[in-house]
Amino acid sequence: MAKYLLLKHYRGAPAAVNDVPMDQWSPEEISAHVQYMNDFAARLEKTGEFVDGQALAPEGAWVRYDGEGRPPVTDGPFAETKDLIAGWMIIDVDSYERAVELAGELSAAPGAGGKPIHEWLEVRPFLSAPPTITE
Amino acid sequence: MDEALLRSLTPSVLGILVRRGADFAAAEDAVQDALVEAVRVWPADLSPSSRLRSSKGDPIRDPKGWLVTVAWRKFLDATRADTARRRREDLVDEEPAPGPAPAVDDTLQLYFLCAHPSLTPSSAVALTLRAVGGLTTRQIAQAYLVPEATMAQRISRAKRTVSGVRFDQPGDVATVLRVLYLVFNEGYSGDVDLAAEAIRLTRQLAAAIDHPEVAGLLALMLLHHARRAARTGPDGSLVPLAEQDRGRWDTGSIAEGVGILQAALARDRLGEFQAQAAIAALHADAPTAEETDWVQIVEWYDELARLTDSPVVRLNRAVAVGEADGPRAGLAALAVLDDSLPRHAAVAAYLHERDGDLATAARLYAEAARKAPDLAERDHLTRQAARLNARRCG
């Protein structure tokens, strides 16, 4: 029983095997990809392992505090930022091995030519609640 | 309405339905429905004095009988609806089938079924909390921070997994104890107090089966639960054992745990939970951290290592050796262990600090913080690193 975040990147991950930008796929290929993602989430809900899944817009802004009584400063997006998150899925599984297995399946989503993208997904464990028994 | 009373009746009511011939999955749903109805219609006061005033046939006089009647009716309704939907003939009698008389160990059988080895740990935990504990799917989902739909699927999958298991087969009590240990140890703190629930379920199990390891686990839980108020500071930070205000330990819980443990140990069938409880009891017995009997604790870790051969036990043993024979001895015990073990760096940091090597200790505390599996521990270890760095520079 541990939660993991499966992170999908627009930018910053190593190059996928089937590395064709999505706007160069056929409409049917895009539909097939979306269907695969939906089916995957539905299947995880059935196995009792799904927690959450969200997609993020590629454009965002940087925001920071600018001192008492002043509005926050906004800036960006910065083109030089290496890492850009595209979306995530949160799963609740019995083992790290299971998290890796599911990330592998998610990475097999079809892309250009209907072939698996083999994209790199980042698997990050959640920090859990502390155990009761410590010694 | 007394929710504790209601939930304590769950396993026996479910057992009666199964013995009358209902299949486990449908019976379990029916009992849940009956529990929900009880919450809705039962009067607020189910105390013995109000029971005396009540008339025959109402839930106050006979809560269990009321639940059995309502759950059976729910089961028949559901079965009929299901049967009608499949355009089958209604084969279900209005009257309960004359099954065998309810056996005293229905509760025990339910524990075995819900901890069946074919289930994954998370499924066994969820099914146990619902079918034995009488918690709702929503409560269990909230306790484990997953959506209700996910938890509902986990539970129904678990029920399908055990659907072929015969209800009257004897199970292995060790699998049940592992599930209860998980509920106690890995419980998040939400509206449902999972630690208290684990204690309740283990107590109920101890009443159903006479087994020294069940007693050992119950003692272990009580002894750790006794320290709960002292384990976290007002800001939620983790307070290590040595720094806890022992005046805030629950002496009633400690006395009960020690009593249960002594009776179990007297039977001379040692197991890992009794050994763990013995270690907890030695800590509970020390008026101050300095007065802890570390020599005896090391001996119990030796027993525990013989029983489980767990590397985590040997890691904890190294801490105890460090206290009993000095940090150098602790570091020597640590040196033979794999340094990829969880908390290895934290233990090494502690022993190096006690040995006076603050630079190494600070570096290891920072490394341990990066590897910490939970937030409170990470913050605690980061503070340790910061404290040593400030002392070295200041």
Which candidate from B123, B126, B241 shows the least CB-CB separation from A135?
A: B241
Mean per-residue pLDDT of chain B: 89
ipTM over 0.90: no
Burial per residue of B182-209, b for 16 or more beta-carbon CB atoms within 10 angstroms, e otherwise: bbbbbbeeeebebbebbbbbbbbbbebe
pLDDT for B91: 46
Query: Within 13 Å, how many C-alpha atoms sit on residue A121's CB side?
Result: 24
Among the residue ranges B3-7, B112-116, B153-157, B364-368, the one predicted with the least confidence is B3-7
Give the closest residue to B358 by CA, choosing from B382, B334, B322, B386.
B386
Predicted confidence at residue A61, as pLDDT, reads: 87
Q: Which of A96, A124, A126, A133 to mutate to test the interface with B (most CBs of B within 10 A)?
A: A133
pLDDT digit string, tens, across residues B95-130 = 455 454 444 578 899 999 999 999 999 999 999 999
Question: Which of the following CATH numbers is that of domain A2-58+72-125: 3.20.20.140, 1.10.10.10, 3.40.1160.10, 3.30.70.1060?
Answer: 3.30.70.1060
Res B22 pLDDT > 60: yes
To the nearest whole percent, how much of chain B has pLDDT over 70? 89
The pLDDT assigned to B282 comes to 98
Using the predicted structure, report yes or no on whether residue B263 has a pLDDT greater than 90. Answer: yes
Contacts of B316 (CB under 8 A, 6+ apart): A135, B301
Give A61: exposed, middle or buried? Use CB within 10 Å, 0-12, 13-18, 19+: exposed
pLDDT of the residue at B93: 45
**What local confidence, expressed as pLDDT, does residue B1 receive?**
60
The answer to whether the Cβ–Cβ distance between B184 and A92 falls below 8 Å is no
The number of C-beta contacts closer than 8 angstroms across A and B is: 88
Q: What is the 3-state secondary structure (H, E, C) of B320-356?
A: HHHHHHCHHHHHHHHHCCCCCCCCHHHHHHHHHHHCC
Tell which residue, B230, B242, B330, B226, has the closest CA to residue B292. Answer: B242
Residue B270 has pLDDT above 60, yes or no: yes
Contact B28, B154 (CB under 8 A): no
* Core vs surface per residue B251-272: b (16+ CB within 10 A) or e: eebbebbbebbeebbeeeebbb
pLDDT by residue for chain A (135 residues), tens digit each?
Answer: 899 999 999 888 889 999 888 888 998 999 999 999 999 999 999 999 999 999 898 888 899 999 999 999 998 777 777 788 999 999 999 999 999 999 999 999 999 999 999 999 999 999 988 888 877
Specify which residues B232 forms β-bridges with: B238
Detail the DSSP E strand segments found in A1-135.
2-11, 50-55, 62-64, 73-75, 84-93, 122-125
Is A40 at the interface with chain B, CB within 8 A?
no
Interface test with A, best of B118, B119, B122 (most A CBs within 10 A): B122
Cis peptide before A27 (omega within 30 of 0): no
Q: Say if CB B342 and CB B367 are below 8 A apart.
A: no
pLDDT tens for B355-374 read 999 999 999 999 999 999 88
Q: Provide the 10 A C-beta neighbour count for residue B245.
A: 10
For residue B189, the chain A residues in CB contact (below 8 A) are 129
At B188, the pLDDT band (50, 70, 90 cuts) reads low
The answer to whether residue B245 scores a pLDDT higher than 90 is yes
Phi, psi for residue B189 in degrees, rounded to 5: -105, 100
B339, B351 Cβ separation under 8 angstroms: no
- CA B67 from chain centre, in angstroms, equals 26
What digits encode the pLDDT tens for the residues B194-231? 999 999 999 999 999 999 999 999 999 999 999 999 99
What pLDDT sits at residue A124?
96
Listed by start position, the domains of chain A span: 2-58+72-125
When pLDDT is cut at 50, 70 and 90, the band that residue B92 belongs to is: very low
Interface of B with A in 198-217 (CB under 8 A): none
pLDDT of res. B47: 57
Q: For chain B, how many residues are written?
A: 394
Phi, psi of B143 (to 5 degrees): -65, -35
Tell me, what's the pLDDT at B48? Answer: 54
Q: What is the pTM of this model?
A: 0.88
